[in-house]
Chain A
Amino acid sequence: MREGTCTGCGQTAPFGSFYKIADKLFCEPCSWKEERAAAERGEKLAKISVVDGSFCARCKTRAQDSGSADFPIFKGVPLCPDCCQQVQDWPYPVWLKASLAGLLILLAVALIHGRKYFHAGRVMYAGERLVNEGRYAQAVPLLKEADEIAPQSDNASLLLAKAALHIGDITTAQKALQSHAAGHFETSGRFEEVSALWNRATDAVEKANKASELVNQPDKAEEAESLMRQAAAEYPEVPQLAASIPYFEGSTAFYQHNYDRMLTIFEGLWKSAPSATTAGTLAGALSCKYAATGDQSFRTRSEEMLEKSRQLALGDKQAETDYQEYSERIKHRMDTREIIDKQEYDRRFRKSTDKN
């Protein structure tokens, strides 16, 4: 390391710590004095930091060791040829390149490994968009896919439950809610919305079930009809509830012995939705009219409707079983002209299968 001597105070110090003013060397305190003196004279001095080119600023190699007096000054810094090369194009370390390559490989692995998650996320967001647009039926299959992959996701389960409840699919909603962390959710606006919807749906279903239990009891038919009306009003998302009201009205009319009203209701049902069931209920109403009036035309029509019911039930096991049950009672009603309800018929003519 080269040394120099201050022109002002005579102090000897490393060459690089000096300043050059008017071609003379000054240490830092003396350079300030010179500047102040010049300022008092109204002059401005050119003060330059002295660069000691006798050694490399980076690796501290002495210039004389490499056979030269001074290293070249690059960007104001004396550098040996190797360091000069390096600062102009600093290389990325090998470990950095290797780490970057490793990360990219891991990222590729994560993306491949996470394909099913991306799919689940995509269908969940698509389902959410459909739910927000009120297109619940279209949203359900998408959200089912998301919920199957991620049953612990609050969003997937709640969105599926919401969409399902809006189309009256309580079974799907129940499955989505119960398979998620044993039915536990973090409280959120969406959770509260689904919770309210769920409570409304289950309350309506309870009323509908109660109505179904009461409908065949002579003194409870009106109560059953009222409960079913409440259920249908409370949960209009299930059109079957509203659609079942005429059956309850017909049952009420039956127990009130108002067979004209019963006939009107079941004729309407048959016209609006011809099926084995509606044909059977109309046959039942006609058989009541025959039993009450003795008018043969009602019997003929009842028998025609029973035949239609039989034909429509063919191939549908449940419908065939139902047909067997009510056709027997209707024929008995027409043969005896005695109007009794199912409970009484069962009591008299059918062996109980109830073990109790």
Chain B
Amino acid sequence: MFFIPGFVISLATFPGVIVHETAHLFFCKLFRLAVFNVCFIRVGNPAGYVIHESTDNFRAMFFVGMGPFFINTLLCVLFCTAAFLPVWELKIDDPLAYFFYWLGLSIGMHAFPSTVDLTHIWAMAPSLAKKGNLLAIISLPLVALLYVLNFARVVWADLGYGIAVGILGPIAIFKALARA
């Protein structure tokens, strides 16, 4: 396993960082949370951030924290689907396809929410889950898994996730289309 400084990865995959922060911002606006500051991309750690008011609304906290996971994953599948066939399956050298694959993977590998976001959700979820809150129940295994994956970023779990989503997503879509 080789080490590449975080800021280099962030710069090489900057669309993913921007989409990640935009997803946070989108859900903050959706749930009408006050946003005190936003940085979409910078050279530093973290590569971007959204500072917003804290909330007791679990749904708002869940979607603001997990928003990038859903939005980045969705966009990764979308862009990789546009590029998957020529790049992976048909082995056609198409520059536009390669651009979209880079874009898709960049977005996909920044899907994991930060440990801070996950910690906030994790702090509220157990008590709500005991009261039967479905979202809290669903969030527990998901947050636990993402927490572990977040630590596994040192062994490129984020890139692995992007590649997995960028390949398995389009395969599932095209196989379903072929059955139709």
- A residues lining the B interface (CB < 8 Å): 57-58, 74-75, 77, 87-90, 92-93, 96, 99, 103, 106-107, 109-111, 113-114, 117-118, 120-122, 124-126, 128-129, 146, 149-150, 152-156
- The 5 closest A-B CB pairs, nearest first, are A125-B178, A150-B90, A90-B35, A152-B91, A121-B85
Q: Which of A96, A111, A118, A126 contacts B40 (CB 8 A)?
A: A96
Bound form: Cα–Cα A305–B143 in Å: 85
Ordered by A's residue number, 14 sampled pairs between the chains whose C-beta atoms are within 8 Å are A74-B34, A106-B100, A107-B100, A110-B96, A110-B100, A114-B96, A118-B85, A122-B174, A124-B89, A125-B175, A150-B90, A150-B91, A153-B89, A155-B89
Q: 0/1 per residue, B131-145, Cβ < 8 Å to A?
A: 000000000000000
Bound form: Cα–Cα A114–B28 in Å: 36
Q: Which residues of A contact B153 (CB under 8 A)?
A: none
Given contacts A74-B34, A90-B35, A149-B90, contact A120 B85 (CB under 8 A): yes
Q: Which of B36, B94, B100 contacts A58 (CB 8 A)?
A: B36
Asked if residues B85 and A88 are in contact (CB atoms below 8 Å), the reply is no
Asked if residues A110 and B82 are in contact (CB atoms below 8 Å), the reply is yes
Bound form: Cα–Cα A103–B18 in Å: 13
Bound form: Cα–Cα A58–B51 in Å: 12
Q: Which of B22, B32, B96 contacts A96 (CB 8 A)?
A: B22
Asked if residues B90 and A107 are in contact (CB atoms below 8 Å), the reply is no
Q: Which residues of B contact A150 (CB under 8 A)?
A: 86, 89-92
Given contacts A58-B37, A110-B96, contact A121 B91 (CB under 8 A): no
Q: Which residues of B contact A92 (CB under 8 A)?
A: 22, 25
B53 lies within 8 A of chain A by Cβ: yes
Asked if residues B178 and A117 are in contact (CB atoms below 8 Å), the reply is no
Which residues from 137 to 180 on chain B have a C-beta closer than 8 Å to any C-beta of chain A?
174-175, 177-179
B83 lies within 8 A of chain A by Cβ: yes
CB distance from B56 to the nearest CB of A (A): 13
Bound form: Cα–Cα A77–B99 in Å: 43
Q: Which of A58, A74, A153 contacts B90 (CB 8 A)?
A: A153
Q: Which residues of B contact A146 (CB under 8 A)?
A: 90
Bound form: Cα–Cα A153–B38 in Å: 45
B97 lies within 8 A of chain A by Cβ: yes
Q: Which residues of A contact B177 (CB under 8 A)?
A: 122, 125
Residue of B nearest to A113 (CB): B96
Q: Which residues of B contact A103 (CB under 8 A)?
A: 103
Bound form: Cα–Cα A92–B38 in Å: 10
Residue of B nearest to A57 (CB): B36
Bound form: Cα–Cα A90–B89 in Å: 42
Asked if residues A129 and B83 are in contact (CB atoms below 8 Å), the reply is no
B129 lies within 8 A of chain A by Cβ: no
B29 lies within 8 A of chain A by Cβ: yes
B78 lies within 8 A of chain A by Cβ: yes
Bound form: Cα–Cα A106–B92 in Å: 19
Which residues from 34 to 58 on chain B have a C-beta closer than 8 Å to any C-beta of chain A?
34-38, 40, 53
B69 lies within 8 A of chain A by Cβ: no
Asked if residues A120 and B90 are in contact (CB atoms below 8 Å), the reply is yes
B79 lies within 8 A of chain A by Cβ: yes
Residue of B nearest to A124 (CB): B89
Asked if residues A129 and B179 are in contact (CB atoms below 8 Å), the reply is yes
Bound form: Cα–Cα A110–B177 in Å: 19
Residue of B nearest to A156 (CB): B90
Asked if residues B178 and A129 are in contact (CB atoms below 8 Å), the reply is yes
Residue of B nearest to A107 (CB): B82
Bound form: Cα–Cα A121–B89 in Å: 8
Given contacts A107-B82, A110-B100, contact A122 B34 (CB under 8 A): no
Residue of B nearest to A146 (CB): B90
Q: Which residues of A contact B91 (CB under 8 A)?
A: 150, 152-154
Q: Which residues of A contact B92 (CB under 8 A)?
A: 117, 150, 152
CB distance from B138 to the nearest CB of A (A): 28
Asked if residues B82 and A114 are in contact (CB atoms below 8 Å), the reply is yes
CB distance from B34 to the nearest CB of A (A): 4
Asked if residues B90 and A93 are in contact (CB atoms below 8 Å), the reply is no
CB distance from B71 to the nearest CB of A (A): 12
Residue of A nearest to B103 (CB): A103
Q: Which of A87, A122, A155 contacts B178 (CB 8 A)?
A: A122
Q: Which residues of A contact B38 (CB under 8 A)?
A: 90
Residue of A nearest to B93 (CB): A152
Bound form: Cα–Cα A88–B53 in Å: 10
Q: Which residues of A contact B32 (CB under 8 A)?
A: 88
Asked if residues B34 and A88 are in contact (CB atoms below 8 Å), the reply is yes
Residue of A nearest to B50 (CB): A90
CB distance from B172 to the nearest CB of A (A): 11
Q: Which residues of A contact B28 (CB under 8 A)?
A: 90
Residue of B nearest to A76 (CB): B53
Which residues from 52 to 90 on chain B have a C-beta closer than 8 Å to any C-beta of chain A?
53, 78-79, 82-83, 85-86, 89-90
